Amino acid sequence: MLRLAGARVLDERDLIDVRGVFDADPVAACMVAARVEVAGLDPWRLGGEMWGSDSKPIRGKVDGLCFSGPNLIPLKGSAAAMRMFADRARRRGRMCSSLVGPAEQVLTLWEELQPDWGPAREVRADQPLMAISTAPKITPDPTVRQVRPSELNRYLPAAISMFIEEVGIDPCAEDGGAGYRARVSELIAAGRAFARFEHGEVVFKAEIGAMSSKVGQIQGVWVRPDRRGGGIGTAGTAAVADRLTRVLNRTASLYVNGYNHVAQAAYRRIGFEQVGQYATVLF
């Protein structure tokens, strides 16, 4: 069993404890739970390592949990646990594009890592985590539907525009967009990309970026600039939330930047309520 400064790489023997963390806060854990439910804790299948910290030197119930993969996602743990995770992360070197998750853990972990990994491109310390488990309070847009695989080329420009607006970088910059195109194509093939088309063009889009057995996390909400302010985004998001809650029997969740008061108000009209607080550090 690998150990380093109190943190260790978890394996299948820890699965019950890991699931216990997920069950305690399924909305906050959705991104990681979705991976573990499919792949277990084997790093090769998981696409990353699950790190745990124990309060005792022998194997026991984990009191800290962090996923290290394309993103670094601390889900649980005290400041001491975050120091343990930071030490392991420093030794490995930065391999992630962002640090994201519950704000308390993310900001504590970033405080430890900043001297070595900083400066960050951006720190979004205030991101309300919102959820709805019942039918939306407003009428979902009936024209919003799943995107078909044959519509990838029509959908992709909207997805790229959303990414640039939200993240601040062009997802096509490094590899000509091959990686991002593959990711979007994967979401479409899984039936998790939704859009409203008008005259063959996307005017609204959103995706279910991660989906566990209990929660689906909505991401990439976007409205074409010339159609903003008319309620398309609100009704469209309600359509995706309706599919999650009514058809897929999941809680619908999302997180939003704290400064985006317009979006927060729209989500509350749909019926979303704040259930937690996220933070994101972008590299």
pLDDT in tens, 219-234: 999 999 999 999 999 9
| CA pair distance 281, 259, nearest whole angstrom | 16
What is the per-residue pLDDT for 60? Answer: 55
Contact between 43 and 9 (Cβ < 8 Å):
yes
Which pLDDT band holds residue 57 (cuts at 50, 70, 90)? low
pLDDT tens figures, 155-181: 999 999 999 999 999 999 889 899 999
pTM of the model: 0.93
Burial 224-243 (b: 16+ CB within 10 A, else e): beeeeeeebbbbbbbbbbbb
User: What is the 8-class DSSP label of residue 118?
Assistant: P
Express each pLDDT in 254-279 by its tens digit.
999 999 999 999 999 999 999 999 99
Residue 281 has pLDDT above 90, yes or no: yes
Confidence of residue 3 (pLDDT cuts 50, 70, 90): very low
Residues 130, 251 contacting (CB under 8 angstroms): no
**Phi, then psi, of 146 in degrees rounded to 5:** -65, 140
